């Protein structure tokens, strides 16, 4: 089974070319290239969960680069990275807001039956497995720490 997200990216490249939207086309080509590179390196067909992981990694790289460019006073490159971040976000699942994340974590805490900080590793493992696509690991960890205090 092939990835629907990957197919959407390829179709959106064609659409961006038709609309002569160079920045979006280039950003999408960069994503498509990253996906193809992983497929070739690992000799496998990517599924949606694989594509989401790759897109999250690409997004984090753009965040770090944008921050570095902003600190260096390179507004032009900062704008480019910010635009690419927005393009990547279109293909990632909607992220949980803070309230939704707390509710989901409370459900996991009740399921495990513990609210102790010493079980943080066990809780994080289950939370990352269940919420990994809809919340960043750092956000999960920070929210969980505040709930266990």
Same domain for 17 and 81?
yes
Same domain for 116 and 85?
no
16-43 in b/e burial notation, b at 16+ Cβ within 10 A?
A: beeeeeeebbbbbeebeebbeebeeeee
pLDDT at 86 over 90: yes
- pLDDT-derived band at 123 (thresholds 50, 70, 90) equals confident
Same domain for 74 and 134?
no
Torsion angle (degrees, nearest 10) of CA 55, 38, 130, 99 = -10
For residue 17, what are the domain limits? Answer: 4-90
pLDDT at 113 over 90: no
CATH number at residue 127: 1.10.10
CATH number at residue 25: 1.10.1510.10
User: Which of 90, 122, 138 is where one domain is finished?
Assistant: 90
Same domain for 86 and 114?
no
Residues of the chain with pLDDT > 90, as a percent, come to: 56
pLDDT score for 109: 87
Q: Give the pLDDT confidence of 23-34 residue by residue, as tens digits.
A: 999 999 999 999
Domain count, the chain: 2
Same domain for 73 and 8?
yes
Q: Within a 10 A sphere around the Cβ of 81, how many other Cβ atoms?
A: 20
Same domain for 24 and 79?
yes
Residues 6+ apart with CB under 8 A from 112: 119, 122, 123, 126
């Amino acid at each position: 089974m092939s990835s629907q997200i990957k197919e959407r990216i390829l179709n959106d490249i064609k659409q961006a070319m038709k609309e002569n939207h160079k920045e979006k086309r280039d950003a999408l080509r960069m994503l498509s290239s990253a996906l193809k590179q992983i497929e070739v390196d690992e000799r496998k067909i990517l599924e949606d969960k694989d594509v989401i992981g790759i897109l999250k990694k690409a997004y984090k790289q753009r965040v770090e680069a944008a921050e570095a460019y902003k600190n260096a006073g390179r507004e032009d490159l900062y704008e480019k990275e910010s635009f690419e971040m927005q393009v990547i976000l279109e293909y990632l699942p909607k992220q949980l807001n803070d309230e939704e994340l707390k509710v989901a974590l409370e459900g996991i805490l009740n399921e495990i039956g513990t609210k102790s900080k010493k079980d943080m590793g066990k809780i994080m493992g289950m939370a990352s497995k269940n919420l990994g696509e809809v919340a960043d690991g750092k956000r999960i960890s920070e929210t969980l720490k505040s709930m266990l205090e």
